[in-house]
Every structure is written in C-alpha cells, then in structure tokens.
Amino acid sequence: MTKQVRRAITILILAEFLVCLGISLVIPVMPFLRNEYHFTATEMGIMSSLFAFAQFAASPIIGRFSDKTGRKPVLVVGLFLFMVSEALFAITNQLLFFNISRIIGGLSAAMYVPTSMAMAADITTKRQRAKVIGYLSAAFSGGLILGPGLGGILAKFDYKFPFWAAAALGLLSMIALTVLLPKEEDIIPKDEISKEAGELVNRGKIRDILTTAVVILFSMILISSFGLQGFESIYSLYVNQVFHFTMDDIALVLTINGVLSLILQVVLFDRLVLAFQEKRVIRYGFLISLIGTLWIIFAHSKWEVIIATLFAFTAFDILRPAITSLITKISSGNQGLMNGMNMSLTSIGNIVGPIMSGQLLDMSPHYPYVVVAIFLAISFLMTYLLRNTEERQPSIES
C-alpha cells in the first residue's frame, strides 16, 4: 500500500468518524426539541423517517453517478450538505424547515457513506479491503457511540449547540478532505484492478452487474435489514417493559457492546475474513444473532439478557462490514452503484423495521423478536445459496 493510498484511507476514516459523531451529537437533544416546539410524536417520527427515505431514494442514483464522475467531488458535496443540514436545524424553529433539514441530511448520508466505501474498494486490493472496511465500520460505530455523550455535555450550554458543533465538524471534514485527499487518478491502481473496473463500468448495464450472487446478496440485505432494525429499534423498550431494565442498565449494555464492536472491527475483523472468508463470516454472524435473539425471548434473568444481547449486537456489528466487503469483491467496478444499492436496501429496514416492531410490541412484548428471529433464520439459510465468489473472481492482488 503506497503512502498516498494510506493517506487517502486515513482521511476517509477521519471524515466518516467526524460525520457520525456529528449525527449522534443531536440524539440527546431530540426530546428537548419536541418539548420546546410542542411537536407531536407523529411529527417527530415523520422527521426521522424523512432522513431515511431521502437516503433510500438517493443512494443508488448517487452511487451510479460517482462511478461515472469520480468519488472525491461526491464526497465533498456530501460533507457540504451535511454542514448545511445541521446548520439549518440549528437556525430554524419551524417544522417545515426541520423536515427540509432532515431531507438534506439524508442526501448527505447517501453521498458520503456508500461513496467512501466505494473509494476504499477502488484503491485497495482484495486482501487489504477487509481491513480497511473494518476500519471504516469502526469509525462509523465509534462516532455513533461517542456522539450522544458529547452531545449531552454540549447541550448544557444551549440545547441547539450540538447542531452548531455538528455543522462545524462537517465543515472541518469537508476542508480536510478537499485539501488532503489525493486525486483519484494518483491512487487508484493502474494494474488489473483498474482494468477490471474499467471493463465493468464501460459495460454499464444493470443486467451485467446483477449476477446471481449479487441478487442473492441484495435479497439477503433487504430481508435481514428488517430483522436488524426490528431488533435494535425497540430493544430499550423491550428490556424495560419485560425485564425492568433501568436507563443505567441499558447504557451499560450499549457501552460494553460499543467497546466490543470497536475491538472486533479494528483488530479481529480482517483476521476473521482471512480465516473464514466473508461468506462464512456472514453465515456465522446470522447464526449467532439468531441464537442471541431466541435466548432473549426465553431468558429468565437480567444477566441472561445482557449476555444474549452482546451475542446479538456483536454479530450485527460483524455482519455489516462483512456484507459490504463481499459486495465490493463480487463486482470490482461499479463500486458506487453497488454500495449505493446496499445503503438503499438497508434504509428500507430503517424506515419499516421500527414501525413493524413498534406495532408488534403493542400486541405482545415477545412478538417483535419472534418475527426478528424468523427474518434472521431466513437470512441464515440464504447464505447457503451463495457460491464461493472468490473462486470465480480473477485475482486482483497487486
């Protein structure tokens, strides 16, 4: 890996961390915002859904666009829109502009997250890629873990201060990426990687991209996204209602999970992929998450729930980068489109999963996790439909 490639990866990781930190800074403030402006729960729900919907609609289009025009301009514009979104949220006091801010935020996420993954795939070999994607996933998780605590501290000065801080982080990230990220033509390898990618981009037809393996993988992403979001979105409500977890209990579990997640993604993920390959990591990830979910349903004590939760959440944290890594290897070209479709399908889970689980929770506390277990079981079985794509892909090691 050359010095310029290492610098590019460092900038991508740093910017992703700052953006995710900015996104999660505002989480503790949302209840105060609702009380300040007397918004209804429905209005707050719509506000959150608009972000996910914009991300869902824009991700494949922007991904395809970045394949044709280059990654860096899309990344810069994405960070600029993130800054605009947070600044608008800090300035306004009207519901319409709050909603517009969330739409802009969803567009910024659609531009930055899949494009950064696509660029990382462009400039690395297959052997290097799992480690780099693990680092990007760790930056994503780390920002989301640290953000709420920092946001709570900043909100003591003013409840809108976290939004200004997020906008400042967006501006800092945009400047750093614009100035320090090398030109793409200087860091994308000119050997077999660029040759293969060029051939695929030149063909440019969806039917050439959607191979059997890709269709199965995307179907798996769509099905599993309902299960993953269904599990995560109502977790705090479920354990509070059924096992009487306090906020301290929930915070402890999520903190321990966050630390385990960072260790796995930074230290162990690359080794797991080298040892088992992505297909088996995905298969075992779904199996472990299924076991954790069923364990929670039949648990009788808090400690059982905590252990089962760590099983499930740890598996989820391995699944995401493993699926992304496999997607980048199935099609060495069209990385923007592939990662954009990945983000778009995941966004469907972000929109529908919480609604589905919320309605099931109103019927019975255990219904949401029974349905989640079914989704995870289907996803686990679908991994056996994936052939070993590594054997059918030409070697692109430098």
Please give the average per-residue pLDDT across 189-214, as a whole number.
53
pLDDT exceeds 90 at position 295: yes
Measured distance CA(139)–CA(286) in Å, rounded:
23
- DSSP for 23-49, written as a single string: HHHTGGGHHHHHHHHT--HHHHHHHHH
pLDDT of the residue at 77: 93
The pLDDT value recorded for residue 88 is 93
Angstrom distance (rounded) from CA 81 to CA 180: 19
Amino acid letter for position 203: R
Confidence of residue 377 (pLDDT cuts 50, 70, 90): very high
Average pLDDT (131-156) is: 76
Q: Same fold for the domain at 3-202 and the one at 206-392?
A: yes
Q: Do 242 and 365 form a contact (C-beta atoms < 8 A)? A: yes
Amino acid in position 329: K
Note the pLDDT of residue 28: 64
Q: What is the pLDDT of residues 104-122, one digit of tens each?
A: 988 998 888 888 888 887 7
Nearest-angstrom CA–CA distance, 178 and 255: 34
Q: How many CA atoms within 13 Å lie on the side-chain side of 343?
A: 33
pLDDT at 355 over 90: no
Reading the block at residue 58, the tokens are: 């824009």
Q: Residue 42, Cβ neighbours under 10 Å: how many?
A: 8
Q: Is the pLDDT of residue 192 over 60?
A: no
- Single-letter residue type at 157: F
Give percent helix, percent strand, percent coil of the chain, each to the nearest 5.
85, 0, 15
Higher-scoring residue by pLDDT: 244, 52: 244
Residue 338: half-sphere exposure toward Cβ, Cα within 13 Å: 32
Report the number of secondary-structure helices (H) and strands (E) in the chain.
18, 0
Q: Which residue has the tokens 């079981």?
A: 377
Residue 303 near residue 311, CB atoms below 8 Å: no
Of the ranges 111-125, 221-235, 313-327, 373-387, the best mean pLDDT one: 373-387
Identify whether the C-beta of residue 345 lies closer than 8 Å to the C-beta of residue 225.
Answer: yes
**Residue 195 has what pLDDT?**
45
Residue 333's identity, in one-letter code, is: G
Question: In this structure, are residues 282 and 322 in contact, taking their beta carbons and an 8 Å threshold?
Answer: yes
Q: How many Å apart are CA 82 and CA 60, to the nearest integer? A: 18
Query: In angstroms, rounded to a whole number, what is the distance separating the alpha carbons of residues 72 and 84?
Result: 19
Q: Between these two residues, 289 and 42, which has the higher pLDDT value?
A: 289
From the list 397, 126, 146, 144, the residue with the least C-alpha distance to 277 is: 126
Average pLDDT, the chain: 78
The predicted-structure confidence for 301-312, as pLDDT tens digits, reads as follows: 889 998 998 888
Q: What is the pLDDT of residue 266?
A: 76
Q: Where are the domains of the chain?
A: 3-202, 206-392
- The residue count for the chain: 398
- Of 7-21, 108-122, 189-203, 222-236, the range with the lowest mean pLDDT is 189-203
Three-state DSSP class for residue 115 = helix
What CATH number was assigned to the domain covering residues 206-392?
Answer: 1.20.1250.20
Q: What is the pLDDT of residue 189?
A: 59
Per the listing, tokens 């939004």 go with 163
In the predicted model, is pLDDT for residue 81 greater than 90? Answer: yes
Fold of 3-202: Growth Hormone; Chain: A; (1.20.1250)
DSSP state of 182: P
- Quote the tokens at residue 113: 């997250």
